[in-house]
């Protein structure tokens, strides 16, 4: 493309270079996800990666513990509107601010739907300590497993 390339009216990309840059951003297997998964695996936890917690809900959690019904999301500061780190872009701000606001609204809707289905949702920002996140996930998953086991034992009595 030529250097004087202009995006079509209504396009999300302000330039060809910006378009290439944005298309290269990963939606899964990001460094924060990989680090957290490595820590959880070292603790003996097994999980699904980039899985849909609920059938029919076209949304994926970064890490899913199906039997315990725990869904883990590692949210990127820019894409999910981190209150500490989100900075509105200077180019095409209307589009990008609307996009991020839509992501945040979808995140809240996902949390609500999963909670209604009996799931525990854990959300972490990409800048949070992976060790602290792993500790929280481990505690919640083990607690959920224990409660499910206790319920099963009560039913079997």
For 7-39, the pLDDT digits (tens) are: 444 555 556 665 566 555 656 789 999 999 999
We find that the CATH architecture of domain 21-156 is: 3-Layer(aba) Sandwich (3.40)
* CA distance to 19, 31, 43, 104, per residue, from 13 (Å): 5, 25, 42, 21
The pLDDT of 36-58, averaged and rounded, is 96
pLDDT at 13: 55
Number of CB atoms found within 10 A of residue 99's CB: 15
* CA distance to 15, 46, 86, per residue, from 89 (Å): 14, 38, 9
Query: What backbone phi and psi angles, to 5 degrees, belong to 90?
Result: -85, -30
* 137 or 97, higher pLDDT: 137
Residue 75 host element (H or E): strand 70-75
The pLDDT of 118-141, averaged and rounded, is 98
Q: Look at 4-13, 15-24, 88-97, 129-138 and tell me which has the smallest mean pLDDT.
A: 4-13
């Amino acid at each position: 493309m030529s250097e004087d390339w202009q995006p079509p009216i209504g396009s999300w990309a302000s330039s060809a270079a910006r378009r290439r840059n944005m298309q290269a951003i990963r939606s899964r297997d990001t460094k924060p996800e990989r680090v957290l998964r490595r820590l959880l695996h070292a603790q003996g936890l097994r999980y699904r990666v980039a899985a849909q917690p609920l059938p029919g809900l076209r949304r994926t959690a970064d890490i899913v513990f199906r039997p315990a019904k725990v869904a883990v999301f590692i949210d990127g500061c820019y894409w999910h509107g981190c209150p500490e780190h989100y900075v509105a872009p200077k180019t095409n701000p209307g589009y990008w601010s609307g996009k991020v606001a839509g992501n945040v609204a979808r995140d809240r809707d996902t949390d609500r739907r999963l909670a209604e289905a009996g799931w525990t949702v854990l959300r972490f920002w990409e800048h949070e300590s992976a060790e602290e996140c792993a500790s929280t996930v481990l505690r919640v998953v083990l607690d959920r497993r224990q409660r499910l086991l206790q319920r099963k034992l009560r039913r079997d009595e």
